[in-house]
Amino acid sequence: MKILLASSEIAPFAKTGGLADVCAALPVALEQLGHEVTVVMPAFRSALQYDRQLRKTDFQLSIPIKSQTLHAEVLGSSLPDSNVKLLLVDYPPYFDRQGLYRDEHQDYPDNCERFTFFSRAVVQLLTQLPGTIDILHCNDWQTGLIPAFLKLESNNASRFQSLASLFTIHNLAYQGLFSQHDMPATGLDWKFFNWRQMEYYGKLNLLKTGIVFADGLNTVSPTYALEIQTPELGCGLDGVLRERSHLLEGILNGIDHRAWNPRTDPHLFCNYDSENWREGKAKGKSALQETVGLPAAPESPLIGVIGRLSAQKGWDILTPVIERWANTREVQWVILGTGDPHFQRKLEALARNYPQRVAVRLEFSEACAHQIEAAADLFLMPSHYEPCGLNQLYSLRYGTVPVVRQTGGLADTVVNTTAETLATERANGFSFRDATTVALEETLDRASQMYQRQPNAWRQLVATGMAQDWSWERSAQAYERLYKKILSEKRHDL
């Protein structure tokens, strides 16, 4: 198949979150399966700074926005360590900015125009690329207009008739909501601004637009695909998602086994594999404790937490547990992340009041993240919702037992430890359902008790997790099947 993947973020050229990692890794894995893949993104300032050898291509774009026609060049490169072609839509007035979507104070007021421009550029590129594209894979609200343009403006062009579009929802909470006054910028007729298509409570909703007009839909885990069809986690779009549920699938993200491999990871204090993980993790734990200022305590569980400090990640139910355990338990915590000032201040106070038990780094450090994953005994993710999650997969790969709330991709990847799952060697972690401090504390207590008192069962948990395959090859094969399905259905309907 010939595949064009469109995304506003592709690592390492531009990144604010997991979207960039997915859209960098999936195309490479698809290429390795034998497909011809091209990816396209805006030529953000960060991309130009990352790759100063970007070359000009022969593509020339003329994009109508409101009453004017804007002209853009297309730059070319490739994704690292691959033959996947990368095209960057270069229009400095929209994309040569400090941030991708916002400055330090607020979202850019012309974001609707910016990503309308990008979406139209992608559709125009389809008419200039050699050969016929089979699948146009769009990602999140920034590309939500692309399926609409294909459906409403293609005028039955033969090049587009056999093309199928897939729209992937990475996080339903981010929807691309704009004033109704931005509708003219899309260039689409006002008749499409209605509650069944592009309108959402009086506003223009680009994520909803992608959901409504795409030929196929998916999100990043099977459980999240079910959750977003409920009022609790549907973010107001559960109705339209239930209406299109026959098209909606969940495919778990993978992890890059080149970057996340404890045997070769250059960030680790001591490398190890499934044969010598006990020695390797013990050395890493000792070195990390020294680095972050915790006393050496080889027998005490070390609990790692990495990520954004926000209520969504469960910090509201977690901070009371840290404080109570810092007073009563021989357990250590190492925490890495930034975010909500309220949680930052709370964690700073905990680290100050309990320096023997709590170490906090209010920053993001790639090296420290890898070191925590390798050194911790337990890794905690008490998220209220989590579309897929990657840290639990890194933890399994590194022999660190995850403790998670049963939601989204966490529910799909972590098998709770019970007598039955231990006996059948399926258990790889611990999970709880209720988003409460009580449920979290009970589960952490179970996990820490097993670590300290049942070494054989603990070794089995670690061995099970380290043996599992969470690679992008597995995920790419699932996308390959989905591409073929929606392509077959599209061509059957012609």
- Number of independent structural domains in the chain: 2
Question: Is there a domain that residue 267 lies in?
Answer: no
Return the CATH number at 228: 3.40.50.2000
Residue 156's pLDDT is 61
Q: What is the length of the chain? A: 494
Phi and psi torsions of 273, nearest 5° = -140, -165
Are 106 and 139 within one domain? yes
Position 260: which residue type? Answer: W
Are 445 and 477 within one domain? no
Question: Is there a domain that residue 269 lies in?
Answer: no
Domain interval for residue 198:
2-254+473-493
**Closest among 303, 300, 466 to 399, alpha carbons compared:** 466
Are 30 and 179 within one domain? yes
Are 324 and 238 within one domain? no
Neighbours of 174 (CB within 10 A): 16
Q: What does each of the 494 residues of the chain score in pLDDT, given as a tens digit?
A: 999 999 999 999 999 888 998 999 999 999 999 999 999 999 999 999 998 889 999 999 999 998 899 999 999 999 998 999 999 999 999 999 999 999 888 999 999 999 999 999 999 999 999 988 999 999 999 999 999 999 998 766 667 778 999 999 999 999 999 999 999 999 999 999 999 999 999 999 999 999 999 999 999 999 999 999 999 999 999 999 999 999 999 999 999 888 899 999 999 999 999 999 999 999 999 999 999 999 999 999 999 999 989 999 999 999 999 999 999 999 999 999 999 999 999 999 999 999 999 999 999 898 999 999 999 999 999 999 999 999 999 999 999 999 999 999 999 999 999 999 999 999 999 999 999 999 999 999 999 999 999 999 999 999 999 999 999 999 999 999 999 999 999 887 76
Question: Is there a domain that residue 266 lies in?
Answer: no
What are the tokens at 226?
A: 């079910």
Are 312 and 425 within one domain? yes
**Integer Cα distance of 247 and 243 in angstroms:** 9
Residue 158's pLDDT is 65
Are 241 and 149 within one domain? yes
Are 126 and 57 within one domain? yes
Are 240 and 294 within one domain? no
Question: Is there a domain that residue 389 lies in?
Answer: yes
Beta carbons of 188 and 120 less than 8 angstroms apart: no
Question: Is there a domain that residue 262 lies in?
Answer: no
- Bridge partner residues of 249 (DSSP): 218
CA 344 to chain centre: 23
**Residue partners of 461: CB distance under 8 A and separation at least 6:** 401, 417, 427, 428, 429, 450
Beta strand spans in 83-197 (E):
85-90, 135-139, 164-169, 177-179
**Full-model pTM:** 0.93
- Bridge partner residues of 73 (DSSP): 60, 90
**Integer Cα distance of 280 and 263 in angstroms:** 9
**Residue partners of 134: CB distance under 8 A and separation at least 6:** 1, 2, 3, 162, 163, 164, 483, 487
Beta carbons of 144 and 208 less than 8 angstroms apart: yes
Q: Side-chain half-sphere of 423: how many Cα atoms within 13 Å?
A: 3
Are 463 and 423 within one domain? yes
Are 456 and 481 within one domain? no
Q: Convert 81-101 to b/e letters by CB count within 10 Å (16 or more is b).
A: ebebbbbbbbbeebbebeebb
Question: Is there a domain that residue 263 lies in?
Answer: no
Residue 490's pLDDT is 86
Question: Is there a domain that residue 174 lies in?
Answer: yes
Could you check whether the bond before residue 27 is cis, i.e. omega within 30 degrees of 0?
no
Are 239 and 299 within one domain? no
**Closest among 314, 190, 169 to 237, alpha carbons compared:** 169
Pairing mode of beta strands 203-205, 177-179 = antiparallel
Question: Is there a domain that residue 265 lies in?
Answer: no
Are 304 and 389 within one domain? yes
